[in-house]
Amino acid sequence: MASLADIARDALLHQLGRGDARQALNLALAALAVHQGGPCGLVALGPAGEVRWQAGACSGPRLPVAELGSQQGWLYLPAPQPAQALAALLPTLAALLQRDAWDASQASQPDRRETHAALLRAALAGTDTFTWEWDLDNDWLGDIDEGLRLLGYELHEVGHTQEDWNRLIHPEDLADNDLAFQRHASGETEIYEHAYRARHRNGQWRWMLERGRIVERHPDGRPRRVVGTQVDVTERREAEQMASEAVQRLEQIARQVPGMLYMFELQRGQGGFLRYASERGPALFGLPPAPEQHDMNVIWSMVPPEDQARMYASFQRSAQTLCDWTSEFRVQRPDGEWRHMSARSTPQRASESLTRWYGYIEDVTERVQLEQARRDAALASAANRAKTEFLSRMSHELRTPLNAVLGFTQLIEIDHTDPPSPGQRQRLQLIREAGEHLLSMIGDLLDLTRIESGGMALALEPMAPHELAGQALQMMRSAAQSAQVSLQLLPGGEILLVQADRTRLRQVLLNLVSNAIKYNRAGGSVTLQVQAAADGRVMLSVADTGVGIAEADLPLIFEPFHRGPQAHGTVEGTGIGLSVTQALVRLMHGQVRVESQRGRGSRFDVLLPRVGAVGVTGVSGLSGAGGAQSAT
């Protein structure tokens, strides 16, 4: 419980600090309202306005100040009721502080304090800020009238104790508010500071920022008096909340974009700094998600020197002219992978020495690779067109003189007027065979070029491949006999119909049977079979017992001019036949499959769309259909 001396001292100090005698008197009377008991004693008012109390030193009746101009003024309080005595005392003390009898050097200081205090209160009021004092011993909040008016209350509506004020604080903020004060009281923080919600008279919650400091303590260290300020920061909090929500929205958006949003600052004389980088920034450059990795020097070191020079030149132009900065550059990430980046930003001059760039960086590696692939494809297509055109032209040009050579060779062979000698006839036969082989190759080249250029037109119609299979074997009988290879058409059950071009399907079968004979061995065999495939299509199979194809060569056998080990063998060929075969089957919406084992032979399957089936007697012109047909 505060003593009368404490109450008097508080009142005088308040008066000296604020120059407000009425407020000082009100503060003291409020303290008296909770004070009970206390002895009489001596109040001493010193030259600097300090007040001393000496209990039990009173003698005689109450006396006025003995000498107003002296260093001390003494007053005696013998009254048995301290509250009444002090109530009589304080007006006198307040009057003493304002009398002209004070020494000029003593009176001038309070005047200056009064002026400064009044100016301070006026300045604070202009910012919706008010001061407050808290007497912890008496639990009295002084000078909170401005705060109550700020919250819309009349002075009589709310009490002046801390408990009264706490009833205005949002329940969720009370515990944190008390914790903030306890941390200051224990010396953990230099000042007490906390923002909380206080209920306005209209029911709304206003945000109040409260700061204070313990200015007086008891001898045992307990806080005795606290002074501070309060300010309504509702609008500021709302603005901060809106700004925070805007930042959160920006972060949410930034998470959805594949690249990095950034803000880069260039300070004259200090260099550049990456002030902001969105969350995807570190991952973009293959860096760990640590703030220090936003150092521009780390990113800059990943750019090769030749790209750095180009980037620096364009960046300097942007800084000088404030034009948008765009650049594409490469970076080598810590894992060694090279990536292509594209950066775009807009500069803004913040001050004479500070420029900011707001922009976006994205990984465009896939785009660059796609563009390169398109360029490569365009070059390859152009080269392929040039090759196709060249082959087409050359094929036509070669066929004319070659036909002449073959024609004159045949005329010489059948010349009865001047017949060739046996030796000449043999040489003419070699010329004719070589010419026919060359003519066949030219024909394959022409077919290949027409297919690649899209000039190959097919006449698709329903047909029975059994008939063509028999014809192909008949046509290849002579070649098979020369190679000592047997040909056989295996039975396939029902006669199946396919949608195909008759001429081109015959060409396909001839190519496959011819290869099966050429790459066979003496005494070997070639079988041809037409049957229904498991997937509903029709399968034409050509199998041989020849040398087979190495597993490594299987993926390449349909490439033009690829012959594998046979490129240096004794079997003649150009490696075009299988390419043409596959292309023709594809034009007929079919597929060619191959199975082969080195040294044991190969099997080629041509699968074509099935359009129906007929009985054996429904197809004419195919002898031996439904049974085996052989040619030796």
pLDDT digits (tens, 9 = 90+) for 532-581: 998 989 999 999 999 898 888 888 888 877 655 554 455 555 668 888 89
Q: Which of 10-19, 49-58, 451-460, 571-580 has the lowest mean pLDDT?
A: 49-58
Please say whether the beta carbons of 391 and 385 come within 8 A. Answer: no
Cβ distance 516 to 544 under 8 Å? yes
pLDDT at position 202, please? 94
**Which residue has better confidence, 292 or 74?**
292
Question: DSSP string covering 468-516, please?
Answer: HHHHHHHHTHHHHHHHT-EEEEE--SSEEEEEE-HHHHHHHHHHHHHHH
Confidence (pLDDT) at 454: 73
Residue 463's alpha-carbon distances to 488, 527, 536, 582, 618, in angstroms, are: 21, 21, 16, 20, 12
Encoding tokens for residue 100?
A: 């002209």
Q: What is the pLDDT of residue 513?
A: 94
- Say if residues 592 and 579 touch (Cβ distance below 8 Å): no
User: Mean per-residue pLDDT for 220-227?
Assistant: 91
Residue 162 CB neighbour total at 10 angstroms: 17
Query: What is the pLDDT, as a whole number, of residue 526?
Result: 95
What element of type H or E holds 356?
Answer: strand 354-363
Rounded to 10 deg, the angle between the 4-18 and 104-125 helix axes is 80
Q: Residue 294's pLDDT is what? A: 55
pLDDT of residue 566: 55
pLDDT digits (tens, 9 = 90+) for 139-149: 888 778 888 88
Question: Are 604 and 625 a contacting pair, CB within 8 Å?
Answer: no
Q: Does the pLDDT at position 315 exceed 60?
A: yes
**From CA 572, how far away is CA 214, in angstroms rounded?**
109
Cα–Cα dist 235/206, whole Å: 9
What order do you get walking across the sheet with 538-544 strand by strand?
A: 591-597, 601-608, 538-544, 525-532, 486-490, 629-631
Task: Tokens for 70, please give them.
Answer: 């002296």
Three-state DSSP class for residue 539: strand
Query: Which pLDDT score, from 0 to 100, does residue 50 have?
Result: 40
List of domains in the chain: 4-112 (no CATH), 127-237 (3.30.450.20), 257-363 (3.30.450.20), 369-453 (1.10.287), 461-631 (3.30.565.10)
How confident is the model over 522-532, as pLDDT tens digits? 999 999 999 99
Q: What is the reported pLDDT for 570?
A: 54
Q: Is the pLDDT of residue 414 over 60?
A: yes
Q: What is the pLDDT of residue 61?
A: 36
Residue 509 — very low, low, confident or very high, per pLDDT cuts 50/70/90? very high
Q: What is the pLDDT of residues 240-290, one digit of tens each?
A: 888 778 777 777 776 767 788 888 998 888 878 888 888 778 888 888 776
Q: Is the pLDDT of residue 322 over 90?
A: yes
| 473-494 mean pLDDT | 88
Classify 231 as helix, strand or coil: strand
Q: Say what the pLDDT of residue 617 is.
A: 32
DSSP 275-335: EEE-THHHHHTT--S-GGGG-HHHHHTTS-HHHHHHHHHHHHHHHHH-PPEEEEEEEE-TT
Report the alpha-carbon distance of residue 583 to residue 205 in Å, rounded: 81
pLDDT of residue 623: 29
